[in-house]
Amino acid sequence: MVKKKRTQVIVANTDGKHVVDSSAMSFVSEAEWLAREQRHQQRIQDVRICAGFIIESIEDYQDLVKLQRKQEHWNRYANCDGLPRAHNPPELRSFIAEIRHTEWRDEMSVVNWALSVNERSVLTQDIDAPDLTRKVLEQQLRPNIGKLYDVAVQRILATWERIEQLLDCEFELEHIPADRALEITQVSEYR
């Protein structure tokens, strides 16, 4: 390796003017070159060791993620919560249809208060006659809408979270064909 060293050389000219020449060079000694080469090799070796540590930690992290996902799958299986598997689009579509059917069934079971109420039913002498007053019917027939929607929303959010976890996990996406992954994203956008 050559190290240029610029020095100024002043040469007297016949006109009395001075000319500056900066072409003088000095060379690097063999000992200095070997020392530089040794430092360079040491740096390369340090980078290799650091890269090895990084690769090993990435592999350990991926192994931990795999174990965590397997444990989550087992916990879902053991819980039997009735939620669909996120990697199975037909189950997701069935879940959406089930939610819509439940909403439709709840709409159909709404009591028509003008027709169902009989305030005179308490005036009867018959012991077996049902009490059809508005107060009793509200207690018996009116569903707890807050609880129904809370359960439905919690189930939807849990399913949505499972889909998001599936799409964020590279380990699971490796085992899913591309067309199925595309279908999962389409089903998750389907409302």
Note the pTM of the prediction, 2 decimals.
0.55
What single DSSP character describes residue 85? P
Residue 99 burial (10 A CB sphere; 0-12, 13-18, 19+):
middle
Helix 178-189, helix 89-108: angle, nearest 10: 20
Q: Where are the domains of the chain?
A: 2-75, 84-189
Distance, first Cα to last Cα, the chain: 69
Spatial distance between the Cα atoms of 125 and 123, rounded to a whole number of angstroms: 7
| pLDDT tens per residue across all 191 residues of the chain | 455 555 554 545 555 555 555 555 678 888 999 999 999 999 999 999 999 999 999 999 989 988 988 898 888 888 888 888 888 888 888 998 998 998 888 878 776 666 666 666 666 777 777 777 777 777 777 777 788 889 889 998 998 888 888 888 777 788 788 888 888 877 766 65
Spatial distance between the Cα atoms of 85 and 93, rounded to a whole number of angstroms: 11
The helix or strand, by DSSP H or E, that contains position 19, with its residue range, turns out to be strand 18-21
pLDDT in tens, 2-31: 555 555 545 455 555 555 555 556 788 889
Give the count of alpha carbons within 13 A of 104, CB side only: 6
Q: Which residues contact 91 (CB under 8 A, 6 or more apart)?
A: 84, 85
pLDDT in tens, 141-165: 777 778 888 988 999 899 888 888 8
